Structure formats: C-alpha cells, structure tokens
C-alpha cells in the first residue's frame, strides 16, 4: 500500500512554495530596478577635444544643474580653468584677464580677473525646441556656443558638459573650431521619471474605476445614503489632485498626463459621488404625508335605521327536547268559576 501524506503537510508545503515564489519575484523586481538605475543613472555628458597649444588653452567645465521645462530654459554652472601659459603656477588662477563667452539668456560674458581665484558662475540657456505639454514624453534641444579670450586675444577652448538633473538625460554633438565650439544638446526624460508618470496614469484609472464600481453596487442594492462610502469617494476626489501634483518635474496643468488620466479620473469620481447621493436621498427621504379625508355625513332626509328587537332573555326560553323523547305535557290550570256564574244567595222571607 502507498502511504498517503497527511493533508496538513501538503498545505504547509504549498504555503512555503507560494511564499518562496513571492519573495523570489520581489527580489527579481528589485534587481531589475537596480540594473535600470545603473544604466540610466548617469545624466549624460558631452565632451570636446582641445588641440595642444604651447601658448596655453582654457578648459571649460559646465554642468546642467536644472532643466526648467515650464520656463523653457536650463541652468548651467560654469568653471573656466586656464592651462599652460594662461595659468599661474601657484593656484591655477589666470595669468591674464580671462573672458569666457557663452550663448545664454543672461549675461554670458564671464570675466575672470588676472591673478584671482576662479569661482563657478551660473548661466541660463534658452531651450530652442521642445514642448512641456507632451509630458512625460517631452524632448528638448538647444545650441550653445563657447569661446574664450585671454588679454583680448582668442585662445583655444575645450568644453566638458555633464548633466546632473535627475529628471533628464543629456546628449548631443559638437562642432566648430578650437577657438569657437558649438554644442548641439538634446534632453529627454529619464526612464525612471517616465515610468513613474506611467504608473501614476495606471493608479488614477484604477482608483476611478474602483469608485465607479462601488457606486454601482450601492445604487443597485438601493442601500440609501452610505456615509462611509461617500466619505471615501470624496477623499479620493481630493487625493487625486494631490497625487497628480507629485508628478516628477511638476508638469503644468494641461499636459498629456492630465488628458490621459487625471481629468477622466476626477470626472468619474465626482459623477459617482453625485449619483450615490442623489439616489440615496431619493431612497432615505420619506414621502410627504397626505391628510385622510373624513367620512361623509348621511343625508338629512334619510330615515334613521330601524333597530332590531332585543333578544328575549335566555331564562324565559324553554329547553329544547332531547332527541327521541316525548315533549312534556303542558299542565292544565284548575278551573276557577267566574264570579258571574255563581248563583245569587236566596233572600230571607219577610
């Protein structure tokens, strides 16, 4: 005979297998997330080669600090590092008055006096192409010119541009000469910010459909005003607005995210709440009470109804004879002579 395993042991093994599968799936998802961050974690960079010059050169290191898509601009932090004959041996300060020119919205002529320590400066650059309303699939492009002069004379310049904005990835190409460098930059959303925006779309639709399903059940069952359910629906209505404002980068109202999910979710939740309240009031509100009309009075010409004669008392009624027995004889009363039939008494003779 084949020994059967106890059912409790089978249930324990099934539970352990499911738990192990869930933990393995969570671990795999975490590893995939780490791999995606490793691939997409860098903000990108654009670099140019600088020709060797015995008289000296200037190396410009710039970093994209922040991309302001709503304002259609980006902020650059610029360092100008003189090399060769243009730098002092003591502290790498410029040996001559140094000027670095960038094409930007603000004053892009960065001046560094001779024999003074160089500090970083901020430059705002305009984005030439791109539309923030396409969030989270918006892309931008711009062109930046970089040139340098020492003592009023152009000098060779090299540019190293890195991206540090966690929401955008930087790319581009370079062109121009050693004394005038042209950078064609492209910016697009990172995979992490795009995935977060798509997840928000799915969550908004899920919450809206959940509220609509609950409203349909309440109305179908004629449950009336269910206050906990209505409170949850109202809280969801306002929570969606707060949840939308947490979108990466703070996109303005009217972008693709709003038309794809947010506006629809708000409309569905609001309509569901109004439908539940409307139907609940119709069910729970009692109908108005109508007065009962009085009975009509009888006409004056009609005679009063005749009353039935009263029943004789039960004591005067004879008992019915028993079945099969003769009725009792009626007693005959004794004869009493009438006073008129009695003969008159004789009168005495005189």
> Which CATH number do you get for residue 173?
2.60.40
- Amino acid 116: pLDDT: 85
Q: What is the 8-class DSSP label of residue 341?
A: G
Q: Lowest mean pLDDT of 196-205, 224-233, 253-262, 311-320, name the range.
A: 311-320
- Specify whether 160 is located in the same domain as 198: no
Final residue belonging to a domain, choices 149, 171, 188: 188
d(CA 181, CA 145): 6
Q: Lowest mean pLDDT of 67-71, 157-161, 241-245, 303-307, name the range.
A: 303-307
**Across all residues in the chain, what is the average pLDDT?**
80
Residue 240 — pLDDT band, cuts 50, 70, 90? very high
- Amino acid 35: pLDDT: 74
- Tell whether 176 is covered by a domain: yes
Does 295 have pLDDT greater than 70?
Answer: no
- Specify whether 114 is located in the same domain as 211: no
- Amino acid 227: pLDDT: 93
pTM for the model: 0.69
Residue 350 — pLDDT band, cuts 50, 70, 90? very low
- Amino acid 45: pLDDT: 64
Residue range 29-44: average pLDDT? 70
- Specify whether 134 is located in the same domain as 177: yes
Range of the domain at 280: 193-284
Q: What is the 8-class DSSP label of residue 84?
A: G
What are the pLDDT digits (tens) for 37-89? 666 655 566 666 555 444 678 888 888 889 998 888 898 888 888 888 788 77
d(CA 257, CA 190): 16
Residue 303 — pLDDT band, cuts 50, 70, 90? low
Q: Lowest mean pLDDT of 101-110, 114-123, 145-154, 339-348, name the range.
A: 339-348
Residue range 294-303: average pLDDT? 63
- Tell whether 54 is covered by a domain: yes
Between 50 and 244, where is the model more confident?
244
62-84 burial by CB neighbour count: b if 16+ within 10 A, else e?
Answer: bbbebbebeebbbbbbbbbbbbe
- Specify whether 176 is located in the same domain as 200: no
Closest CA to 228 of 214, 216, 239, 238: 214
- Specify whether 111 is located in the same domain as 177: yes
d(CA 155, CA 125): 23
d(CA 112, CA 155): 15
- Amino acid 204: pLDDT: 97
d(CA 162, CA 42): 9
Final residue belonging to a domain, choices 188, 209, 243: 188
Share of the chain above pLDDT 90, in %: 27
- Tell whether 210 is covered by a domain: yes
- Specify whether 66 is located in the same domain as 183: yes
Q: Which range has highest mean pLDDT (16-30, 195-209, 330-344)?
A: 195-209
Residue 157 — pLDDT band, cuts 50, 70, 90? confident
């Amino acid at each position: 005979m084949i020994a059967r395993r106890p059912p409790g042991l089978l249930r324990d093994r099934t539970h352990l297998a499911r738990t192990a599968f869930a933990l393995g799936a969570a671990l795999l998802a975490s590893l995939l997330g780490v791999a995606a961050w490793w691939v997409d974690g860098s903000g990108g960079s654009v670099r140019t080669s600088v020709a060797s010059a015995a008289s000296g050169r200037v190396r410009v290191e710039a970093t994209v600090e922040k991309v302001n898509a709503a304002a259609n601009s980006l902020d650059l932090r610029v360092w100008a590092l003189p090399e060769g004959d243009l730098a002092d041996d003591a502290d790498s300060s410029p040996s001559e008055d140094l000027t670095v020119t960038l094409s930007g919205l603000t004053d892009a002529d960065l001046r560094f006096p001779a024999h003074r320590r160089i500090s970083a400066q901020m430059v705002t650059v305009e984005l030439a192409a791109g539309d923030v309303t396409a969030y989270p699939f918006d892309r931008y492009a711009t062109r930046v010119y970089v040139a340098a002069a020492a003592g009023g004379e152009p000098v060779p310049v090299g540019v190293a541009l890195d991206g540090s904005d966690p929401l955008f990835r930087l790319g581009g190409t370079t062109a121009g000469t050693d004394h005038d460098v042209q950078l064609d930059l492209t910016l697009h959303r990172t995979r992490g910010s795009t995935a977060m925006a798509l997840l928000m779309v799915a969550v908004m639709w899920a919450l809206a459909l959940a509220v609509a399903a609950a409203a349909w059940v309440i109305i179908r069952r004629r449950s009336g005003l269910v206050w906990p359910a209505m409170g949850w629906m109202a809280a969801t209505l306002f929570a969606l607005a707060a949840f939308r404002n947490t979108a990466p980068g703070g996109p303005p109202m009217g972008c693709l995210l709003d038309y794809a999910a947010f506006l629809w979710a708000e409309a569905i939740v609001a309509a569901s709440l109004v439908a539940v309240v409307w139907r609940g009031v119709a069910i729970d509100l009692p109908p108005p009470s109508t007065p009962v009309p009085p009975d009509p009075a009888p006409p004056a010409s009609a005679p009063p109804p005749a009353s039935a004669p009263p029943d004789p008392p039960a004591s005067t009624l004879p008992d019915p004879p028993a079945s099969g027995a003769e009725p009792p004889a009626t007693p005959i009363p004794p004869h009493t002579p009438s006073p008129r039939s009695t003969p008159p008494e004789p009168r005495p003779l005189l």
